[in-house]
Amino acid sequence: MTLDAFVFTIILPLLGISVVLTVVRMVKGPSLADRVVALELVNLLAIGIITVFALVVEQTEFFDIAVVIALVSFMATVGFARYLERQRERESTNDSP
Amino acid sequence: MTPLEWFAAALMLLGSLLMLLSAVGLLRMPDMYNRLSAASKATSLGAIFLLGGFAVVQPDISVIGRVLATVFFVLVTVPVAAHAIARAGYRDGVPLWKQSTVDEWEGTLDAGRDGAQRADHVGDR
C-alpha cells in the first residue's frame, strides 16, 4: 500500500466524515456561539485536509493556503466573538439609556 | 512504503482520528461550553499531527519552517479564540448545562443584565 492510497482510502474519508458531523452541528446549533465554534472546527479541518492533499499531489505551494487559512480563521472567530459582545451591549444600552 | 512514510502515515492516522473524535464531541456534548472544549483541544493536537506528517514526508527546510510557524500559530490562536467565544457566548446568555457545578460569573455585572440563566432542559442533542 502506497502512502497516496493510504491517504485517499483512510485519512481523507476520516476528515470528510468529521466535516459532515461539524456541519450538522453548524446547522442544528441552538445559539450563534455554537455555530461559531463549528465554523472554527471546519477551518481547522480545512487546514488538515489541504495539508494532506498537498502531500499527496507533492505540491508544497498548496501548503501556503493552509497557512493563510490558519491566519484568517483566527480573525474570523475573534470578529464573531466581538460581534456577539457588541450586540449584547447595544441591547443593554437601548433598554436602559 | 519506506519506514519514514510509515511513520508519517501513523502520525496522520492519529491526527485524523483526533479530528474525528473532536467532531463527534462537537455533535454529542450537552452544552456550548463542553462542545467548545471538545472542539478546541483535540483539534489543535490533531492539526499538529497532520502537519507533522507533512513535514516528515517532505523534509525540506522551507517546508519544516512553514510547518513550525503554522504549529506555533495554531497553538497560540486556538486557545485565544476559544476564550473569546466562551466569553462572548456567556455574555450573550448561552445557558450552562444542568449538571454544571461551577459558575464563577454567576450574578456578576460582567455576565450582562440578568446573567446566563441555567436551563432546565438542554435537550438539543
ipTM for the complex shown: 0.86
d(CA A55, CA A4): 9
Hey, are the CB atoms on B66 and A63 less than 8 Å from each other?
yes
Question: Whole-prediction pTM value?
Answer: 0.84
> What does A17-49 look like in DSSP terms, one character per residue?
HHHHHHHHHHHH-SSHHHHHHHHHHHHHHHHHH
pLDDT score at B100: 81
pLDDT score at A87: 78
Grid coordinates representing A55 are 502531500
Segment-wise mean pLDDT, segments of 10 residues, chain B, 125 residues: 90 95 93 90 92 90 92 93 90 82 72 46 44
pLDDT score at B122: 46
* Higher per-residue confidence, A81 vs A92: A81
pLDDT score at A59: 86
Torsional class of B115: left (φ above 0), alpha (ψ -120 to 50), beta (otherwise):
left
Choose the mutation target among B7, B24, B28, B32 for the interface with A, i.e. most A CBs under 10 Å: B32
* Higher per-residue confidence, A31 vs A29: A31
Choose the mutation target among B6, B16, B18 for the interface with A, i.e. most A CBs under 10 Å: B16
Instruction: Indicate the residue of A3, A18, A64 with minimum beta-carbon distance to B23.
Output: A18
> What does B58-110 look like in DSSP terms, one character per residue?
S--HHHHHHHHHHHHHHHHHHHHHHHHHHHHHHHTTPPPPTT----TTTT-GG
